Amino acid sequence: MSYHEAPTIAAPDAPRLDQDDRPTLRFVTCGSVDDGKSTLVGRLLYDSKTLLDDQLDALASESKTAGTTGGDLDFALLVDGLQAEREQGITIDVAYRFFATKLRRFIVADTPGHAQYTRNMATGASNADLAVVLVDARKGVITQTRRHSHILSLLGIRHVVLAVNKMDLIGFDGDRFASITAEYLTLAGQLGISRVQCIPVVAPDGDNIVAASTRMPWYAGPTVTAYLESVDVAGDVSQRPFRLPVQWVNRPHADFRGFCGRIASGTIATGETVTVQPSGLRTRVVRILTPAGERDRAKAGESVTLTLADEIDVSRGDVLAAGPTPLVSDQFAAHLVWFDDEAMVAGRRYVLKCGTASTGAVITTLKHRIAIDTMAQESATTLEVNQIGYVHLNLDRPLVFEAYRDDRDMGSFILVDPISHRSAAAGMIGSSLRGSANIHWQRLAVDKSVRAQLKQQRPCVLWFTGLSGAGKSTLADHVDRRLAELGRHAALLDGDNLRHGINRDLGFSSAERTENVRRVAEIAALFVEAGMIALVALISPFRSERELARLRVEAGEFIEIHVATPLAECERRDPKGLYRKARAGELPAFTGIDQPYEAPQAPEITIDTSELSSEAACEHIIRYLREHNYL
């Protein structure tokens, strides 16, 4: 067949800027290794004339040296971008490709078929409207097909094109195609994938990709391109209630305070009432600034800046909402796709990111694991890489969200390992766990801002970190006394003293040291909630733990003070004789000697007490607090 006379597809030449409003369809390709995904995508690029002369020349020469097609154009080389991929003839990572026809623009995520790379498939699917699932006509629906379709359904994909490839290798057998179609439709039905179009193709030759194949006259349906150009995937989030996760507070000068973010769902107009979640405070929208200028209204998908009628407390992680109140809870149930090589550990703390909010989260229960092949729920104690499960999570603070099936932006999250910083899992929220879905965070009559106003201060945590003997406690004590003189309300939490009380059950193993820091961070956060300035003097050697402490309070409420006195000086002072003991081997895992101290990368304040007196250092801190409006 001839692919040079591609009838429906053309370079994006005809429509121009003023009338060019071809919608964009984002789709993902998936299937087993060697099913021909990259070839199919390469073919779409080739037939849409997206490829330019120098790229075609490069393809022709690479096909000869690195191709797997005996010197013919190897379309897979167009998308297998990494050297290792070309060497091994497989796809390792998601590739994003762009092409356009006269009717639509397309962004395609080409994802790997290898079992160990399932996480990349989920990645590609997370932003897709539709999936093209490839199967090898000789093999039909196999385990990988089930696994991928299951992930697609979990990620909310409702439209699938099943491309049955390599039809030439089964003699264009229509009956075989029909039986594969029937088997897949059964699977799709179980998974709630509502619209499936099955198309028999030969990707390298272009049969039924752009032009209808002359070799399969028994197939009367659309080609892949024709279907992608016409399918209606619209699920209009503009019709849903207004939700704006606040990304950034824009405060360039005293007369302007704007709240920036991309509208997740719904529409908003000036004059309309919104509530700030989770606080529940109400106010009105005054101005709407969009990238195209100031407007009266804006809708889902737009990145805007809103100004509000009242001076109320709104910060990153809050959600501006109208209409039915969103779900607010510190516990929910969710599906997890586990990504990390390190298996899930129930009871361990991860960093959870949802929308613009970040918080510590613990997986309290693994309700069940899902057997990919049968979709059966089975009991399990952990999730390994690429496994899927249903879990309960406990968060450090309440989060504003929606069920994933209703709202992808408001119902999705990732878990990050606080030590390795790897993305450990992707999550889709099922439901809130606080009784019924109607339990919302109740706004307390007296909140933090009221207390803070009473005390004429902005509550915050002053976190003094540094080596043993660096002078943390001395300095914190100095600042505490100075604040008292100024009539401010502070509380000093000293690591050593706390170990005599609330932390007296803890030793010095790394797990116990982590718990020690966690408890202190919790207590500090409670003081902040009460409108106080909490001073914490704690070695806290690990950056990840300090980051978790930072996440425990709101943005701008955590001031990390690195007491950066050099080790030699600390050891010379050795006020408690600890360095001497550590050097003698009597104190294992002593920070600075045989356990590393991870210095802050960008602390708000750095102090070296070997060069600065305690009084001078104290005054610097007070000045910082004044200049940044804490006092």
Partner 1 sequence: MTGQIVSIMEPSPARNAPNEAPAARNAPSHLRRLEAESIHILRETAAEFRKPVMLYSIGKDSSVLLHLAMKAFHPGKPPFPLLHVDTTWKFREMIAFRDQRARELGLDLIVHTNRDGLSQGIDPFTHGSARYTDVMKTQALRQALDLHSFDAAIGGARRDEEKSRAKERVFSHRSAAHRWDPKNQRPELWSLYNTMLAPGESMRVFPLSNWTELDIWDYILLEDIPIVPLYLAACRPVVERDGALIMVDDERMPLRAGEEPRWRSVRFRTLGCYPLSGATISTAATLPEIVSEMMASRTSERQGRMIDRDSPASMERKKAEGYF
Q: List residues with catalytic annotation.
A: 540
Check: CB of residue 150 under 8 Å from CB of residue 436: no
Residue 315 counted as an annotated binding residue: no
If one asks whether residue 422 binds partner 1 (CB under 8 A), the answer comes out as: yes
Helix, strand or coil, per DSSP, at residue 475: helix
Check: CB of residue 517 under 8 Å from CB of residue 549: yes
- Pinpoint the alpha helices (H) of 339-429: 408-411
Residue 246 counted as an annotated binding residue: no
DSSP string, 425-470: EEEEEEEE-SSSTT--PPPPSS-HHHHHHHHTS--EEEEEE--TTS
d(CA 613, CA 302): 52
Q: Which of 1, 7, 72, 84 binds partner 1 (CB under 8 A)?
A: 84
- For the bound state, the minimum distance from the C-beta of residue 504 to partner 1, rounded and expressed in Å, comes to 32
If one asks whether residue 520 binds partner 1 (CB under 8 A), the answer comes out as: no
Q: Which is nearer to partner 1, 47 or 302 (CB)?
A: 302
Residue 339's Cβ-count burial label (10 Å; 0-12, 13-18, 19+) is buried
CA distances for 544 relative to 227, 310, 348, 518, 600, angstroms: 49, 37, 14, 11, 10
* Footprint of partner 1 on 288-327 (CB under 8 A): 289-295, 301-303, 305, 316
Q: How many binding residues for partner 1 (CB under 8 A)?
A: 101
* Footprint of partner 1 on 549-608 (CB under 8 A): 555, 598-599, 601-608
Residue 165 counted as an annotated binding residue: yes
- For the bound state, the minimum distance from the C-beta of residue 531 to partner 1, rounded and expressed in Å, comes to 22
- Report the alpha-carbon angle 355-245-284, nearest 5: 165
Q: Which is nearer to partner 1, 247 or 267 (CB)?
A: 247
CA-wise closest residue to 320 among 385, 239, 376, 265: 265
Residue 111 counted as an annotated binding residue: yes
Q: Which of 6, 78, 133, 202 binds partner 1 (CB under 8 A)?
A: 78
- Report the alpha-carbon angle 393-397-403, nearest 5: 50
If one asks whether residue 283 binds partner 1 (CB under 8 A), the answer comes out as: no
Q: Binding segment for partner 1 among 170-178, 406-414, 450-458, 484-492 (CB under 8 A)?
A: 406-414
If one asks whether residue 269 binds partner 1 (CB under 8 A), the answer comes out as: no
* Footprint of partner 1 on 52-71 (CB under 8 A): 52-55, 62
Helical packing angle, 174-191 and 143-154, nearest 10°: 40
Q: Which residues pair with 238 in a beta bridge?
A: none
Q: Which residues pair with 395 in a beta bridge?
A: 361
Q: Which is nearer to partner 1, 119 or 166 (CB)?
A: 119
Q: Binding segment for partner 1 among 207-215, 226-234, 271-279, 350-358 (CB under 8 A)?
A: 350-358
If one asks whether residue 282 binds partner 1 (CB under 8 A), the answer comes out as: no
Q: Which is nearer to partner 1, 24 or 186 (CB)?
A: 24
Residue 129 counted as an annotated binding residue: no
d(CA 304, CA 236): 19
Residue 318 counted as an annotated binding residue: no
Q: Which is nearer to partner 1, 206 or 603 (CB)?
A: 603
Task: Give the residue numbers of the binding site.
Answer: 31-38, 110-114, 165-168, 466-473
Known binding-site positions for GTP = 31-38, 110-114, 165-168
